[in-house]
Amino acid sequence: MPISVPIAENASLNAPAPHLRDIRTTTLPNGLLVLTERMPHLRSVAMGVWIDCGSRDESPAVNGISHFIEHMVFKGTTNRSAQQFAREVDAIGGNLDAFTGKETICFNLKVLDDNVPAALDLLTDLVLHPTFSPDDIAKEQGVILEEIKMDEDNPDYLVHELFTQNFWPNDALGRPILGTAKTVSSFDQQIVLAEYARRFTPANMVFTAAGNLHHEEFVEQVAAAFASLSASSSDKIAHPNPPQTNPHITLKNKKSLEQVQFCLAVPAPPVASPTRYAAYLLNSILGGGMSSRLFQSIREDRGLVYSIYSELNPFRDTGTLAVYAGCAVSNVEQVLALTLAELTRIKQQPVTAEELDRAKNQSKGNMVLGLETSGSRMSSLARQQMYWGRFFSLDEITAEIDRVTPADIQRLANELFHPDLLALTLLGNLGSLKLTRAHLTC
């Protein structure tokens, strides 16, 4: 039977209007925040434990510890071996996943609605009762060292890492999520336990769930499952100050590669910026799809690349807007010149109404389609809570997207695409290729 506990209810229990999301919030006595979204038309429930810190909250000596802990909790708990855990997840038809990012760690499990109690028991055991045995730590160090080598052999990954490390030098945001061979090799049980204890506290955790569930019943189950988690004596982990960006040019010669990997980027607005909707539409128009300017100009019209796209990566206090491409070394200067020409054009000439409408429809379509599953709604709850502390309806977001004008796009482009802010990373068999800041004009 669920254990009934006193709870601090933060949301109205009135049924929402049909067009609104049925989101409820409760804070447990130990400080753990529980968020749910009822989706009665589904037969699934997705639930996740989110830690509101990631690799950018690490000191240099323990770079990679967040990712290492994410791996280690799967190696066995005080109640189950790793093999028992895997068998029980399969026995309830569950989909278990975990990931570490620059600003979050997440453990999530999706099951049929009939299996919620069993799933909650498994997820709780995974997060709250890991053993972190020295033998398992030693074995997992070997696994992650191989993962680091594997990623270093992947040019798409490596050019991103080279860019990031040089864009935010001497800052945790620029360091790799996986850590380095040196830092990972230094981890022992004492380090792992200390970092786990610092992060996995109610003040730094959010529990979210979405699907065919009832909030009050689910909260009682979570309260019972997390009763052993004491209220934290420490405050929420203090996040670092915004990092200083470095408008670098990095040319990394790697003769084994057939293509040159290309990354051109500028600082961009943080995730909660008032200009975020204009930023997403600007990115969409520039390189967000097959109809985008970069794709049409550089791939379709001239055949210089197979893949080219732009990407917006916002964080809590900063971000990047980057163009990625792969091309022959003989085409690098032309691809760079054409990319810069598109940046210049979007600064000097307002986008057309047709082009902006297409970007708006693409953004709204992606948003709606991206919220059609219980897993995506569960993730949306956590991210909106951690970054905004509030929840946005689809109507509200759609209205903000529709409010963006061509003048807004042009104004933001002129703020972002300044030659002094541009950073360029090239990775590949560069030969005698040389580039200077004189090449970066827009």
**Which residue is catalytic, options 9, 37, 58, 70?**
70
Quote the CA–CA distance of 233 and 252 in Å, as a whole number: 47
Q: Is 211 left (phi over 0), alpha (psi -120 to 50) or beta?
A: left
Class of domain 249-439: alpha beta
Task: Give the global pTM.
Answer: 0.92
Domain ranges of the chain: 8-225, 249-439
Residue of 400, 426, 17, 59 lying closest to 248 (CA atoms):
426
Report residue 369 as tokens: 């389609």
Q: Which two tokens stand for residue 374?
A: 């219980």
What is the model's pLDDT at position 233? 56
Q: Buried b / exposed e across 100-131, counting CB within 10 Å, b at 16+?
A: bebbbbbbbbbbbbebbebbbbbbbbbbbebb
Which residue, among 307, 240, 297, 264, has the nearest Cα to 416 in the 3D structure? 264
Angle at 245 between CA 401 and CA 409, to 5 degrees: 25
Give mean pLDDT in consecutive 10-residue pieces for the chain, a chain of 442 residues: 34 44 93 96 96 95 98 96 95 96 97 97 96 97 97 94 95 96 98 95 95 97 91 71 93 94 97 96 96 97 96 96 97 97 97 96 90 93 94 91 98 97 96 91 89
Residue 173, SS3 per DSSP: helix
The per-residue pLDDT for range 315-359, each reduced to its tens digit, is: 999 999 999 999 999 999 999 999 999 999 999 999 999 999 999
Rounded CA Rg of the chain: 24
Q: Is residue 70 annotated as part of the catalytic site, yes or no? A: yes
**Chain segment 146-192, per-residue pLDDT in tens:** 999 999 999 999 999 999 999 999 899 999 999 999 999 999 999 99
Judging by beta carbons within 10 Å of its beta carbon (0-12, 13-18, 19+), is residue 144 exposed, middle or buried? buried
- Residues 141, 144, 146, 152: what is their CA dihedral angle, to the nearest 10 degrees? -140
Q: Which fold has domain 8-225?
A: Cytochrome Bc1 Complex; Chain A, domain 1 (3.30.830)
Domains 8-225 and 249-439 share a fold: yes
